[in-house]
Amino acid sequence: MKIPYKFSILRYVHDPVTQEFANIGVVVYSKEARFLGAICAQNYSRITRMFTKIDGERFRQVARYIQNQLQKMGASASVDAPLESLLARILPPDDTAFQFSPAGVGLSEDLNKTLNEVFERFVQRYTVSLDSRRRDDEDVWKIYREPLERRHVLSRLMPKRIVASDYEYEFQHSWKNQLWHMYEPISFDMSDSNSIVDKANRWVGRATSLADSSEPWKIHVLLGEPRDSKMKNAFTKAQNILHKMPGEHDFVKEDEAEHFAESVAEDIKTHLR
């Protein structure tokens, strides 16, 4: 039996004037089956290829938020409103960078399968193979995650939102003893020296804005070095800038990933004794 469904495409609209956009996610909805499913791409490498400069951290946070909220809504029993109304609860129609397309329709025998097929058709097929010299923060995290997994540390790490007087930010990989330890992968594997330096400055600004938080915390910056030798000078400048971050912080390089994981595992083990 085929089930009628509607679908909408989540777009990242880079320029509201020219309406340049990239498809980054899909939603499939069937009122009859009380089904609502969503998949959002959170890797922004393709977006930076198309539009050069975006706030990658912000992009990933918003995409994750939209997907999580839609999935929560889909898990509830209240998905019986028109698709447009459901989407407006998560993302009201406006001129911001994230926008849902007008709904399309179809028939499906398996809505979960259809969700993946729609994602493949409208998003995944346009994903350009990543240049081996270009990595985003998620790619860098994989370098550090693997040795942490082998030491059974990942289950101890959790998201933590640090709240200051005028700003707040959620770190994804954190744990606490006397203070919160934040492990933040930051990729400087870029093709533009100005982007490398700008990213370091943004992180100094972020750390400065969080400095008056009432909770003690320390950021451990997990560096992703540029693979292009022409960017080494810019990377050195970026590290010099990062050293200006207020509060407790340290830096870990990719070739120190094993030692880093061992140190984290030992610290957590000691704390749990």
Per residue in 175-205, pLDDT (tens digit) is 999 899 999 999 999 877 888 998 999 999 9
Query: What's the pLDDT at 80?
Result: 75
Q: Is pLDDT larger for residue 53 or for residue 10?
A: 10
Contact 127, 25 (CB under 8 A): no
Query: What's the pLDDT at 130?
Result: 42
Inter-CA distances, 184 with 35, 145, 220, Å: 36, 11, 6
Are 194 and 145 part of one and the same domain?
A: yes
> Considering 126, 152, 183, which residue would you say is the last residue of a domain?
126
DSSP state of 51: H
| Interatomic CA distance for residues 86 and 83, integer angstroms | 5
pTM exceeds 0.75 for this model: no
- The pLDDT tens digits of the residues spanning 240-257 come to 999 999 999 999 999 999
Are 165 and 232 part of one and the same domain?
A: yes
3-state secondary structure 59-128: HHHHHHHHHHHHHHHHHCCCCCCCHHHHHHHHCCCCCCCEEECCCEEEEECCHHHHHHHHHHHHCHHHCC
Are 177 and 227 part of one and the same domain?
A: yes
Are 141 and 111 part of one and the same domain?
A: no
Structural domain of residue 11, as residue ranges?
3-126
Query: What's the pLDDT at 45?
Result: 62
Query: What's the pLDDT at 70?
Result: 87
The yes-or-no verdict on residue 48 having pLDDT over 70 is no
In-domain check, residue 67: yes
Query: What's the pLDDT at 74?
Result: 83
Are 161 and 258 part of one and the same domain?
A: yes
Are 122 and 141 part of one and the same domain?
A: no
- The pLDDT tens digits of the residues spanning 128-174 come to 444 444 788 888 999 999 999 999 999 899 999 999 999 999 999 99
Query: What's the pLDDT at 119?
Result: 92
Residue 127 φ then ψ, to 5°: -75, 120
Query: What's the pLDDT at 210?
Result: 95
| Interatomic CA distance for residues 18 and 159, integer angstroms | 37
H or E segment and range at residue 9: strand 3-15
In-domain check, residue 132: no
Please measure the distance between the N-terminal and C-terminal CA atoms of the chain and give it in whole angstroms: 57
In-domain check, residue 237: yes
> Considering 126, 150, 170, which residue would you say is the last residue of a domain?
126
- The pLDDT tens digits of the residues spanning 209-231 come to 999 999 999 999 999 999 888 89
3-state secondary structure of 247: coil
Query: What's the pLDDT at 132?
Result: 45
Structural domains in the chain (count):
2
- The pLDDT tens digits of the residues spanning 61-79 come to 888 888 888 888 888 756 6
Are 141 and 29 part of one and the same domain?
A: no
